Structure 1
Amino acid sequence: MIAAKENVPKLTPEEYFAWEEKQLEKHEYIDGEVYAMSGGSKNHSLISVRFITLFSNHLEDSSCETGNSDLRVNIVETNDYTYPDVSVTCDDRDKATTQYITYPCLIVEVLSPSTEAYDRGGKFRMYRNNPNFQDYLLVSSTSIEIDLYHKNEAGDWLIINYKEGDTVELKSINLKFSIEHVYRGLVLTPESENSQTA
């Protein structure tokens, strides 16, 4: 997803929720400012759906919940809200909220050229405020590449780069899968992202 700052006065969180209900598109909310979320490429959408299906099927007999890009994530101890492409929470506290979750253990962002730096930098720094957060997947939509940021038992973040032929391991939800499973049948070219609008 691509974020663009809107020309809207600063809002309180309550005003943001009320305002966004009347909008035609989704908006992230950071430091009182709203940012419109525009659509991504076809590959971006297909990859997101594959992760949602994979996680939902794997977790169907658990208490965990898988959210799509319509589910807000509240950044812990802030009034900031983002819309990741895919999120998974296994925390009972998230069952008590209806408009967002706060304690995901896993987040997936499908990368776009215009948002990759933010996804790897500022957004990741915000997500790390959550003590339950263990796995952050950054997924290319133009080549068979996935970067996993994983928090180990010592609390250190490790970066694991997956490429064609690799098996991805998500310890947060006890899942292993072939990287090709996500990319099956997709036409992967840099041009697939170039037609996006900012």
Structure 2
Amino acid sequence: MSTPAPHLRNISVTDYLNGEEHSEIRHEYIDGQVYAMGGASRRHGLITNALAFMLTPKAREKKCQLLIADMKVRLSIGGKDIFYYPDLVLNCDPDDRETHYSRTPCLIIEVLSETTERIDRREKMLAYQTLPSLQEYVLVAQDYPQIEIYRRRADWLPEVHAEGAFIIECLDLTATVGEVYQDVESS
């Protein structure tokens, strides 16, 4: 995220959501301030696609919705409204079907980049942990094979996988690190 210009006024949630519908650039929203999102690299896209292809069959089986990149997650922390765009968000709550955002995801995945890693590891991780529905937060390295899984049931302590199998408990899915990076390795 970038820093907002100091002369900008706060905008309402309604104005933000209306603006996002018509904007060619995605923005995250934190308590009235809007931050433009940068574009993703080829590696980022390949990893995100691999994850989506792996998760989609199980998501459908469990009647969940898996959304990629353009679905916001809405949070309210200390009376402040926040909207983030995770790379992947899984929602299994049939009552959470807002058009432009999710309130009760059980899984959020972020593919790390040099410009977003610090925010994903600190700010977003702490914010997402305030969601009672969230069971797993997954960070996926872009430049080398590594998947970190943070689980509510394990007090958000990291489980790091550089090779072999890992489990996404929300979906009862076992996958391998190699599957996630297969397209990156072959390109």
Which residue does the alignment assign to 2:90?
Answer: 88
Matched letter for residue 161 of structure 1: V
Paired with 1:136 and 1:146, the residues of 2 have a C-alpha distance of: 11
> Secondary structure at 1:94's aligned position in 2?
coil
Residue 6 of structure 1 deviates from its aligned partner by 4.2
Instruction: Say whether the 8 Å CA contact 1:106–1:136 is kept in structure 2.
Output: yes
Which residue does the alignment assign to 1:182?
Answer: 180
Q: TM-score, normalised by structure 2?
A: 0.91
Which residue does the alignment assign to 1:49?
Answer: 49
Matched letter for residue 21 of structure 1: E
Alignment pair present for 1:156 and 2:158 = no
Paired with 2:161 and 2:185, the residues of 1 have a C-alpha distance of: 19
Matched letter for residue 185 of structure 1: D
Aligned pairs (5 A) from 1:98-117: 98-117=99-118
Paired with 1:76 and 1:55, the residues of 2 have a C-alpha distance of: 27
Would the alpha carbon gap of residues 93 and 65 (structure 1) be closer, same or farther in structure 2, given more than 3 Å must change?
same
Matched letter for residue 160 of structure 1: E
Residue 54 of structure 1 deviates from its aligned partner by 1.3
5+ long unaligned stretches in structure 1: 189-198
Paired with 2:20 and 2:71, the residues of 1 have a C-alpha distance of: 13
Alignment pair present for 1:11 and 2:11 = yes
Which residue does the alignment assign to 2:130?
Answer: 129
> Secondary structure at 2:106's aligned position in 1?
strand
Matched letter for residue 158 of structure 2: I
Instruction: Say whether the 8 Å CA contact 2:47–2:183 is kept in structure 1.
Output: no
Post-superposition CA distance 1:127-165 (Å, at most 9, x none): 01111101111001100111111111xx7222101012x
Instruction: Say whether the 8 Å CA contact 2:50–2:183 is kept in structure 1.
Output: no
> Secondary structure at 2:61's aligned position in 1?
coil
Post-superposition CA distance 1:96-126 (Å, at most 9, x none): x111101100011000111111101111111
1:173 to 171, 176, 182: 171
Paired with 1:57 and 1:50, the residues of 2 have a C-alpha distance of: 12
More helix by share: 2
Instruction: Say whether the 8 Å CA contact 1:76–1:103 is kept in structure 2.
Output: no
CA RMSD of aligned residues (A): 1.6
5+ long unaligned stretches in structure 2: none
Matched letter for residue 58 of structure 1: K
Paired with 1:54 and 1:9, the residues of 2 have a C-alpha distance of: 42
Judge which range, 17-26 or 36-45, deviates more: 17-26
Paired with 1:56 and 1:76, the residues of 2 have a C-alpha distance of: 28
Paired with 1:144 and 1:160, the residues of 2 have a C-alpha distance of: 14
Which residue does the alignment assign to 2:147?
Answer: 146
Paired with 1:22 and 1:65, the residues of 2 have a C-alpha distance of: 24
- Tell me how many residue pairs correspond in the alignment: 182
